[in-house]
Structure 1
Amino acid sequence: MIRLCAALAVALVSISVTAMAADYPAPQDGEWIAKDFKFHTGEIMPELRLHYTTVGAPTGQPVLVLHGSGGSAASMLTPSFAGELYGPGQPLDASKYYIIIPDGIGHGKSSKPSDVMRTSFPKYDYDDMVDAQYRLVTEGLGIKHLRLVIGNSMGGMHTWVWGVRYPQMMDVLVPMASQPTAMAARNWILRRMMLETIRNDPDYNNGNYTSQPRMMKYAVAAYRFASAGGTLGYQTLAPSAAQADKMVDDQLALPVTSDANDYVYQWEASHDYDPSAGMEKIEAVLLAINAADDERNPAETGVTEAAVKRIKNGKIYLVPASTETRGHLTTGDAKFYAKQLQELLQTAPQRTM
């Protein structure tokens, strides 16, 4: 991924890239091979590598934590997320829970286009990614039931898909920074424009590039500034042209650290996302957490509220917008909803594990 500069990362996301000195058990890495994995296109990969990270002992209640687009398990091990959730007495106390954080298909250390196949890699979508997670959890780790599935951004959309595709698999669902409706409107328009900018860069050469396309960093920066950060957040951080220019200059000075094909696949995977028809299938207690200033999932459309009304045990918690929130990035900071999550886990019925 193109890295945010240190100042911007602190200002916009309030997280760092690693967990630092965390007050919970050291994360453990693992890898499992899904044999003969079938994609929604009908293509079959003989061996699909699935990397994952766990926190806590396997004897704890299993919890599945799902990262966002372009991220990996490391994205969910930051001080502002893991540091607020995984420690003693916190909502996902790792002495009680067995926390499982997969690298999604095409992300992190799991199988991805840049390994060898480039654009010959099967086109995956969110259903494929969730099916791979399901196989990892059930076949790879031997887990029959999850206490909780929680995800942020893309991981939030995956959480909705989990509830529809595998409704008996979990007690609780917490999709964050997401909507259970078709990928459309400004969210897809901006994604499409970002992808078209990368693909139409002559350097991209239909995915057969020898160096990362030069326009990629401009496309990614434009998308991020347009779709995350929060109106009040940016006004607080860049109240003058000079401060705004510095934010842009700092972002564009960063090197490209992700592979273009990987990146295109990661974002294109959202194109056919639409779990809306399956809301009545959801059996788990569900709490949808969104930020009121989320640019990609604007609360004022009412689409999430309408969908949640169709769920037997569904509620919404909307984090109020403020100078402290950061739009779509807000839910990366668990301090905004740790109390609500803890209360949910204390009261939600527990089915057979």
Structure 2
Amino acid sequence: MAVDYATFELGDFTLQRGATLRGAKLAYKTFGELNAAKDNVIVYPTWYSGQHYDNEWLIGEGMALDPAKYFIIIPNMLGNGLSSSPSNTPEPYNASRFPKVTAYDNVRAQHKLVTELFGISHIRLVVGWSMGALQTFHWGAMYPDMMDLLAPFCGSAKCSRHNFVFLEGVKAALTADAAFLDGWYTDKPAKGLRAAARVYAGWGFSQAFYRAELDLTAMGYSSLEDFLVGFWEGFFLPKDANNLLTMLWTWQNGDISDNDLYKGDFQAALAAIKARTFVMPGQTDLYFPPEDSASEVAGMPNAELIPVPSIWGHFAGGPGTNPEDVRFLDRKLRELLAS
């Protein structure tokens, strides 16, 4: 089968929590051309369960992320099924034995790709949605002198306690299926995947979205049940449960200060982010609410809080679901890149 991405060999990659992924791989896709000065670079990490093609809605001719102007790199998160993941790693680190991966690990791997493969020392912008935003914040804190601009949208620099609890529900649904077999399944745990989808459905979109029946009028589903099955179960069923659990752990343990640089001092990590930053929470996002973003922005020296005025909840940020939200984000990114 033809693939539309390349693979960077990370070699023996030692993870923050102590394991070594031998023969580790980072899948990535690029758009546009790297200019001679190597200063037209945009890094755009993937999100929970998403792969590079799920990011492409924000890239296009005449858009802020224009491949005619910029060299755009989309690195796939570890655990997402394309980069090293439970589903594609050989024994003994296969399936549920796949090691714990942090956002710090992901960004260190991406930094190797950017610097070693492409010889890039300066980045114009790092941008990402949801867990992509978590990685964007990590880029800013881990390599503060490397980029001009950051644009994390619908995400956070640290997983909140409430967000952690929501993810416990997703985890419980995935692992409760008898077919899950502690992660050693041969047939996919479809009941668990369908259950996780329904847990997610109450969180991904806002109360106002459901009140306005946008699942019917804007997304074309014929009933609420049709939306739950057609959209949400359809979204989760193709995915690998162990991959989802790996990325879920990465998300729950997301924290820009949880490393040797900052030793758990979250305020110091925020204060270290030098890049001009637009932090763009969804106005009605249920797991990354604007008040959480406001407290992060308060600790950053060069950041603005710009809520996305939308009732689409977390999906105000992606993946290209509501055209109005896409236009808003594109406009703000254009403004940021012009600065």
TM-score band by shorter chain is 0.7 to 0.9
CA distance in 2, matches of 1:251, 1:345: 34
CA distance in 2, matches of 1:56, 1:108: 25
CA distance in 2, matches of 1:239, 1:162: 39
Secondary structure at the residue paired with 1:269?
A: helix
| Paired letter, 1:183 | S
Secondary structure at the residue paired with 1:335?
A: helix
Secondary structure at the residue paired with 1:50?
A: strand
Cα shift readout 1:70-120 (whole Å, capped 9, x = no counterpart): 001111113xx22xxx313x2122111000001111114211111131122
Using the TM superposition, give the Cα deviation of residue 264 of structure 1 relative to its aligned residue in structure 2, in angstroms: 1.0
| Paired letter, 1:67 | T
Unaligned runs of 5+ in 1: 1-26, 348-353
Residue pair 2:173, 2:196 contacting (<8 A) in 1 also: no
Using the TM superposition, give the Cα deviation of residue 41 of structure 1 relative to its aligned residue in structure 2, in angstroms: 1.5
Match of residue 122, structure 1, among 94, 99, 119: 99
Supply the RMSD in Å over aligned alpha carbons: 2.1
TM-aligned CA distance change 1:249 to 1:52, over 3 Å: closer
Residue pair 2:275, 2:302 contacting (<8 A) in 1 also: yes
Using the TM superposition, give the Cα deviation of residue 129 of structure 1 relative to its aligned residue in structure 2, in angstroms: 1.1
| Paired letter, 1:43 | A
| Paired letter, 1:165 | M
| Paired letter, 1:132 | A
Matched, 1:103 2:83: no
The alignment of Structure 1 onto Structure 2 pairs a total of residues equal to 308
Match of residue 271, structure 1, among 237, 245, 252: 252
- In structure 1, the residue matched to 2:45 is 66
Residue pair 2:128, 2:136 contacting (<8 A) in 1 also: yes
Residues 226-265 of structure 1 mapped to structure 2, 5 A cutoff: 226-237=202-213, 243-251=223-231, 254=234, 256-265=237-246
Secondary structure at the residue paired with 2:306?
A: strand
Cα shift readout 1:37-64 (whole Å, capped 9, x = no counterpart): 1101111123211110000012260100
Using the TM superposition, give the Cα deviation of residue 303 of structure 1 relative to its aligned residue in structure 2, in angstroms: 2.9
Residue pair 1:28, 1:55 contacting (<8 A) in 2 also: no
CA distance in 1, matches of 2:50, 2:307: 24
Using the TM superposition, give the Cα deviation of residue 180 of structure 1 relative to its aligned residue in structure 2, in angstroms: 2.3
TM norm structure 2: 0.85
CA distance in 1, matches of 2:177, 2:210: 29
TM norm structure 1: 0.82
Residue pair 2:281, 2:293 contacting (<8 A) in 1 also: no
Residue pair 1:65, 1:99 contacting (<8 A) in 2 also: yes
Residue pair 1:181, 1:303 contacting (<8 A) in 2 also: no
Runs of 4+ displaced beyond 4 Å = none
- In structure 2, the residue matched to 1:285 is 276
Higher relative contact order (CA 8 A, sep 6+): 1
CA distance in 1, matches of 2:199, 2:208: 18
Unaligned runs of 5+ in 2: 257-265, 321-325
Match of residue 300, structure 2, among 311, 320, 336: 311
Matched, 1:164 2:114: no
Match of residue 53, structure 1, among 8, 13, 29: 29
Residues 1-353 of structure 1 mapped to structure 2, 5 A cutoff: 29-59=5-35, 61-78=40-57, 81-82=58-59, 86-88=60-62, 90-115=63-88, 116=90, 117-185=94-162, 187-237=163-213, 243-251=223-231, 254=234, 256-275=237-256, 276-277=266-267, 278-299=269-290, 302-321=291-310, 325-332=311-318, 333=320, 334-347=326-339
